[in-house]
A and B are shown apart, each in its own frame.
Chain A
């Protein structure tokens, strides 16, 4: 059990997928201008990433390895993810319209969120078992959500301060993210 707890703390705080592994930076900078979009994106990512982590693991061990076509991993995984995102979209629309309205516009964006494919590949490279995969996918997604929501909180305040013109927009966002990454690297001794 403590094994799983350590994995979780490490995935959320120390090896944060956004700030230490650099996965999923495009939506990080794109959807963090307002708190509500950041929340929507964070929730959509937690949902899809956990599901896709588990399904790609099953695809790897029950389809690719038995058929001896591991070299097609990239193509298979991205297709599975694209299919899954579309599927989740349709299912949510029919069964949970309220949730669909909240996550709706963020779902298609997730297909090209490299955190999703990245975590799927990390799960395989680290040779995690089934439950570890589930756990790791979920905690990385929570780490992503945490960093995104915190960052949006900081970024909302930019509206109130004077920023030098050339730094305005993405540039100041990147520097802020750098400072946040520095703060997160303070957790390094935790595990």
Chain B
């Protein structure tokens, strides 16, 4: 029961990056296509789940004064693993995501969850939390990537889906489009949750 609750909150109540406004840099930078968004989301999920578990396991041993440094080192170790694995098996994706893979270390979501959740709760709960938040992040990035890819290239996951005379808005895949698109999506989610609350 508790597992389910901690798991599902990542998909709406705490959906990053909309509800938890954290981890914006990779969200804006890599979502030029659905595939990149998905890859980035999964990489973050992996690091988040592993870091959450380890931090939760050793939470009683870490002195509270150096906890942030300890969290960063733990996250950084998993980021290095991710980096090496991606270079070995998903080379083209890793060149597309570029410096945003090492930058997962300073993704505020990881530190935020470590501080707010994993350093206080048990392993199972932390696992559920990491998995839920991570997959929520993946879904958000993929959706944002789909929107930008459809409007910017007329394609989804690299397959053309728009009619022949469709003129892509190249604005959407350029940096300004990222900000505007994320802003509008955030407004939409705010709007929906306001309607829910009003009911």
Q: List chain A positions with a Cβ less than 8 A from chain B.
A: 19-26, 29, 71-75, 77-79, 82, 111-114, 116-118, 121-122, 125, 164-168, 170-175, 177-179, 181-182, 185
Contact = CB atoms under 8 A, between A and B. Distances in A.
Given A26-B24, A82-B72, 18 more contacts: A22-B28, A23-B25, A24-B25, A29-B21, A71-B80, A74-B102, A111-B68, A114-B25, A122-B99, A125-B99, A166-B194, A167-B190, A172-B187, A174-B186, A178-B177, A178-B179, A179-B180, A185-B176
B29 A22 contact: yes
B126 to A, nearest CB: 20
Interface string B11-53: 0000000000111111011000000000000000000000000
20 contacts: A25-B24, A29-B21, A29-B24, A71-B80, A74-B83, A74-B102, A78-B105, A79-B69, A111-B106, A114-B25, A114-B106, A117-B103, A117-B106, A122-B99, A165-B190, A166-B194, A167-B190, A171-B186, A178-B178, A185-B174
Contact of B76 (A78, A125, A177): A78
Contact of B80 (A74, A164, A172, A178): A74
B183 A172 contact: yes
Interface of B: 21-26, 28-29, 68-69, 72-73, 76-77, 79-80, 83-84, 99, 102-103, 105-108, 111, 174-180, 182-184, 186-188, 190-191, 194
A6 B170 CA distance: 27
A75 B105 CA distance: 9
Given A74-B83, A170-B21, A185-B174, A175 B184 contact: yes
B17 to A, nearest CB: 9
B102 A121 contact: yes
A26 B25 contact: yes
A26 B22 contact: yes
Nearest to A124: B99
Contacts of A167: 183, 187, 190
Nearest to A112: B106
Contacts of A23: 25, 103
Chain A CB count within 10 A is highest, among B24, B28, B83, B106, for B106
B103 A170 contact: no
Contacts of A116: 106
Given A74-B79, A79-B73, A112 B103 contact: no
Contacts of A20: 175
A171 B183 contact: yes
Contact of B108 (A73, A77, A112): A112
